[in-house]
Chain A
Amino acid sequence: MSEECFDAEELEELLRPVVERHNGEPLQLVQILREAQEVVGYLPAALLTATARALKLPRAQVEGVAGFYSFFHLTPPGRYRVLFSDNITDRMLGSGELLDRLCNKLWVERRKLSEDGLVSVDTTSCTGMCDQGPALLVNGQPLTRLSGERIDRISELIRAQLPLGDWPAEYFRVEDNIRRRDTLLSAEWPAGEALRAAIARGSEAMLAEMKLSNLRGRGGAGFTTAIKWESARRAACHTEADAQAGARYVICNADEGEPGTFKDRVLLSSYPDLVFDGLSVAGFTIGARKGLIYLRGEYAYLLPALRENLERRRRSGLLGRAVGGEVGLDFEIDIHLGAGAYVCGEETALLESLEGKRGIPRIRPPFPVTAGYRGQPTVVNNVETLCKAALIAIRGGAWFAGLGTKQSTGSKLLSISGDVEMPGIYEYPFGVSVEQVLQDCGAGNAQAVQVSGPSGVCLAMHEFSRSIAFEDVPTAGAFMVFGSHRDMFEVARNFAHFFKHESCGFCTPCRVGTSLVANCMDKIGKGLGTQYEINQIFKIHRLLHAASHCGLGQAACNPLFDTLQKFRPAYERRLCSLDFEPAFDLDQALAAARQMTGRDDPAAHFGFAARLPGVAS
């Protein structure tokens, strides 16, 4: 085994600089664990104890945080840690076979560390590379456009223990794939332009422009941005001194965890100044001195470039003290990395995670605009929303309101993947029809489109005339296309497992319900399902919708509900009867005994299998 032994003293040595870098601040716990893990390789029990001691936190709290995030490892994960992106689009491109192929080549079992501690292979939720999949992460670095040949080569590189830096750079190339540009993606303003424009307008007038623009959030809920900003601007800080010190916060939600969404990745890699400008404009407007970016762990590879950009902005007076030459206008931006938890995209779970805790959605009210980060007034906005705010600062609210539809002003970035000729980023004015989009991206034989990811809605062919807009089909950006040859049951099953894996586990309905429906889907998938399971799914859907604590649980059964409504035959083909069948398979339960005794005769089988001579299980 590769259970490396560190003694406690050695671990404290390794931990000290990490803790010092964060000034021993307990709110930085997630960042500290991440960095400590980078040094040590994983988070051994003694390291958690040392961290707790250094931060003066209860050890159990530190362990609880370490145990919450997928990218934290309490046992050694392998010097090469391979995680295949497990979105349905990756699967459609053959990721399952590629995973098996890599396991075979490396002589490892999925999810198990190899004997020599060299490598582990597993899956992870969508990594946001759906337009260039199948994709995987190796030690946190994304690899795109996998093929059988590449997988073979990768197995050789791992066996030769070549450092990632010496792997072909081509493997790590991440494309933007921008296919259609509208007002946002054709913007070419220099860094700081939007911020200077906002300063020239003044914060009051900037807010008025935001109101005029009628910009609505691009992260999913579609809340009017100006109302959010105004509430946070007006809300009282804890104390008057806090208010004087500008203790309000603006947060850029770059968690982009919804499977099938990757537009924020492109904005962060190719339009970072627009993002930073938008965040700065928001900070200026509400009177915040600090902006935070919550970057999903899967996008850690963007960090060096983003940090460099921030450094550049600091040098050119766009960050730090007296921003844009305005005395008294101070603004700083920090980037926090997530650690593998979709729920942390939910804005209050995100705040908990930013404060170094388990990513559990908070009880609302109070809302973040009155009590957010550190309990102070806080605005949380999506990456794209902030980019739009930057455009509004420059070109004005009336201009923006003239684009799109009346209730959905401006444009929307769509992340298009699946069965299309040209997957990638498409920017459209709101109001575009699904049909038009399908035509543009080359979706010849689409039978269904999953709009806004698993939490969104599954549209069937007869709905393709509907339009992308808050008043018709709202979306956070994902647009996954399924050709007529695809099995919509498998699509829904993939989503059911996604939600099961990502439930934070806080509330009963979501924690248990997501497991129950995933089990139901597996049972149906094995051909053991009946009408009983279908009824079960409907019942759990109603409960989760009504009683879940956050949007994750509320939406978790949407894809099943939609496909059951619109693609019922995909389920019914698999039902074994209309009556109840127990999930417990007696014959399967005897498999271990058969193996031990070396028997496989009919008498060693139960039920249907007993009647077939020589069925090997």
Chain B
Amino acid sequence: MTQPSILLDGLPVPFVDGQTIMDAAMAADIFIPHLCHHPEFKPQGSCKLCTVKANGRYVSACTLPARDGMEVENNSPDLNDKRRTLLQMLFVEGNHFCPSCEKSGNCMLQALAYELEMLSPHFDQFYPNRAVDASHPEVLLDFNRCILCELCVRASRDVDRKSVFSLSGRGIDKHLIVNAESGRLADTDFSWADKAAHVCPVGVILKKRSGFAVPIGKRRYDVEPIGMQVERLAARSADEES
């Protein structure tokens, strides 16, 4: 029997049963933009950056199982335009001041914005009022940058078995909360050794007193665009920073 495959932008890409379009693409070293996806965790399907067209229908590559003969459009002006708009939405929804952010250069949101040539946030900024949580001895939470990808939620629940993080609120008021009546990270059992401490794709969960060890300009996505780093992205394990 021949291995089943999908046709990704005209290229045959093999897959094994149970793999999603994203899994198949990553295994073949093909980049599909993504933020909430991480190979170590259960697919979530919320950021919608991975939106592709499968047999003419818009779907999320990270959640849709691949099917033999499926024709998938990925790197097209239409899709990249939609992804750019999604990035702009994520930027204006939070407060992202890249130049003063410790994650700059290592941040997937920023890297994707470069990759997809997002030149401006385009929409009016929401400027939400989100307080920083500096209560924990080791870790700072800067919610201003949270893109609600739930990677920390999944890591803490499924790997650390602590459920330190969760989401509350609805719609545009949705926000990250921690597992304490006080609402403070210091009052949870969170620790820097947790998987959840190392999965944030942006600059929310930061180690205190260790900023800017690698200078800006020499960081992960400064040296090579994210679209060229599929192999590393695919090999990410839960305890390695995204």
The answer, yes or no, to whether B180 is at the interface (CB within 8 Å) is yes
The minimal Cβ–Cβ distance linking B118 to chain A, given in whole angstroms, is 14
Which of A45, A69, A508 interacts with B181 by CB under 8 Å? A45
The answer, yes or no, to whether B90 is at the interface (CB within 8 Å) is yes
Give A54-92 as 1s and 0s: 1 = Cβ < 8 Å from B's Cβ atoms: 000011110110111110000000000000000000000
The answer, yes or no, to whether A265 is at the interface (CB within 8 Å) is no
The minimal Cβ–Cβ distance linking B166 to chain A, given in whole angstroms, is 3
- Of chain B, the residue at the smallest CB distance from A44 is B181
A549 with B45: CB separation less than 8 A: yes
Give B142-175 as 1s and 0s: 1 = Cβ < 8 Å from A's Cβ atoms: 0000001000000001000001111111111110
Q: Which of A58, A503, A549 has the most CB of B within 10 A?
A: A58
Give A496-517 as 1s and 0s: 1 = Cβ < 8 Å from B's Cβ atoms: 0000111111111101111110
When distances are taken between beta carbons in the complex, the residues of chain B under 8 Å from A505 are: 148, 169-174
B171 with A543: CB separation less than 8 A: no
Which residues, 28 to 75 on B, are CB-close (under 8 Å) to A? 43, 45-49, 51, 58, 60, 63, 65
B48 with A60: CB separation less than 8 A: no
Which residues, 600 to 616 on A, are CB-close (under 8 Å) to B? none
A509-B48, A516-B89 as given contacts; A60 in contact with B164, CB under 8 Å: yes
When distances are taken between beta carbons in the complex, the residues of chain A under 8 Å from B169 are: 67-68, 505
The answer, yes or no, to whether A14 is at the interface (CB within 8 Å) is no
The answer, yes or no, to whether A547 is at the interface (CB within 8 Å) is yes
The minimal Cβ–Cβ distance linking A315 to chain B, given in whole angstroms, is 41
Tell me the count of chain B residues lying within 8 A, CB to CB, of chain A.
40
- Of chain A, the residue at the smallest CB distance from B65 is A365
B86 with A508: CB separation less than 8 A: yes
Complex: how many Å from CA A59 to CA B182? 11
A46 with B181: CB separation less than 8 A: yes
The answer, yes or no, to whether A191 is at the interface (CB within 8 Å) is no
The answer, yes or no, to whether A49 is at the interface (CB within 8 Å) is yes
The answer, yes or no, to whether B82 is at the interface (CB within 8 Å) is yes
Give B8-35 as 1s and 0s: 1 = Cβ < 8 Å from A's Cβ atoms: 0000000000000000000000000000
When distances are taken between beta carbons in the complex, the residues of chain B under 8 Å from A539 are: 85
- Of chain A, the residue at the smallest CB distance from B62 is A363
The answer, yes or no, to whether B126 is at the interface (CB within 8 Å) is yes
Q: Which of B58, B167, B173, B180 has the most CB of A within 10 A?
A: B167
When distances are taken between beta carbons in the complex, the residues of chain B under 8 Å from A503 are: 170-172
The answer, yes or no, to whether B240 is at the interface (CB within 8 Å) is no
Which residues, 463 to 517 on A, are CB-close (under 8 Å) to B? 500-509, 511-516
A511 with B45: CB separation less than 8 A: no
A512 with B170: CB separation less than 8 A: no
A512 with B45: CB separation less than 8 A: no
The answer, yes or no, to whether A358 is at the interface (CB within 8 Å) is yes
When distances are taken between beta carbons in the complex, the residues of chain B under 8 Å from A60 are: 163-166, 168, 177-180
When distances are taken between beta carbons in the complex, the residues of chain A under 8 Å from B212 are: none
When distances are taken between beta carbons in the complex, the residues of chain A under 8 Å from B124 are: 519, 582-584
The minimal Cβ–Cβ distance linking B158 to chain A, given in whole angstroms, is 12
The answer, yes or no, to whether A546 is at the interface (CB within 8 Å) is yes
Complex: how many Å from CA A60 to CA B188? 10
A59-B181, A60-B163, A583-B124 as given contacts; A507 in contact with B46, CB under 8 Å: yes
The minimal Cβ–Cβ distance linking A308 to chain B, given in whole angstroms, is 33
A505-B172, A516-B123, A546-B82 as given contacts; A58 in contact with B166, CB under 8 Å: yes
The answer, yes or no, to whether A251 is at the interface (CB within 8 Å) is no
Complex: how many Å from CA A509 to CA B124? 15
The answer, yes or no, to whether A458 is at the interface (CB within 8 Å) is no
When distances are taken between beta carbons in the complex, the residues of chain B under 8 Å from A540 are: 85
Complex: how many Å from CA A70 to CA B173? 12
The minimal Cβ–Cβ distance linking B83 to chain A, given in whole angstroms, is 9
The minimal Cβ–Cβ distance linking B67 to chain A, given in whole angstroms, is 11
Complex: how many Å from CA A476 to CA B173? 29
The answer, yes or no, to whether A341 is at the interface (CB within 8 Å) is yes
When distances are taken between beta carbons in the complex, the residues of chain B under 8 Å from A48 are: 181
Which of A341, A504, A508, A515 interacts with B48 by CB under 8 Å? A508
The minimal Cβ–Cβ distance linking A579 to chain B, given in whole angstroms, is 16
The answer, yes or no, to whether B92 is at the interface (CB within 8 Å) is yes
A547 with B58: CB separation less than 8 A: yes
- Of chain A, the residue at the smallest CB distance from B157 is A58
- Of chain B, the residue at the smallest CB distance from A365 is B65
The answer, yes or no, to whether B93 is at the interface (CB within 8 Å) is yes
When distances are taken between beta carbons in the complex, the residues of chain A under 8 Å from B89 are: 508-509, 512-513, 516
Complex: how many Å from CA A584 to CA B127? 12
Which residues, 118 to 150 on B, are CB-close (under 8 Å) to A? 123-124, 126, 148
- Of chain B, the residue at the smallest CB distance from A362 is B45
When distances are taken between beta carbons in the complex, the residues of chain B under 8 Å from A68 are: 168-170
Complex: how many Å from CA A536 to CA B122? 10
Complex: how many Å from CA A507 to CA B49? 10
The minimal Cβ–Cβ distance linking B39 to chain A, given in whole angstroms, is 17
The minimal Cβ–Cβ distance linking A502 to chain B, given in whole angstroms, is 7
Complex: how many Å from CA A365 to CA B46? 15
A507-B48, A543-B86, A549-B48 as given contacts; A514 in contact with B181, CB under 8 Å: no
Q: Which of A49, A508, A511 has the most CB of B within 10 A?
A: A508
B180 with A511: CB separation less than 8 A: no
Give B169-202 as 1s and 0s: 1 = Cβ < 8 Å from A's Cβ atoms: 1111110011111000000000000000000000
The minimal Cβ–Cβ distance linking A407 to chain B, given in whole angstroms, is 23
The minimal Cβ–Cβ distance linking A552 to chain B, given in whole angstroms, is 10
The 6 sampled A-B contact pairs (Cβ below 8 Å) are A60-B177, A502-B171, A507-B47, A514-B172, A548-B48, A582-B124
A sample of 14 more A-B contacts (CB under 8 A), given A64-B168, A515-B172, is A48-B181, A58-B166, A66-B168, A67-B169, A500-B171, A503-B170, A503-B172, A505-B173, A509-B86, A515-B171, A516-B89, A536-B123, A549-B46, A582-B124
- Identify the 7 closest CB pairs spanning chains A and B, nearest first: A67-B168, A60-B166, A58-B163, A505-B174, A512-B89, A60-B179, A503-B171
Question: Which residues of A line the B interface, CB within 8 A?
Answer: 45-46, 48-49, 58-61, 63-64, 66-70, 341, 358, 363, 365, 500-509, 511-516, 519, 536, 539-540, 542-543, 546-549, 582-584
Question: Which residues of B line the A interface, CB within 8 A?
Answer: 43, 45-49, 51, 58, 60, 63, 65, 82, 85-86, 89-90, 92-93, 123-124, 126, 148, 157, 163-174, 177-181
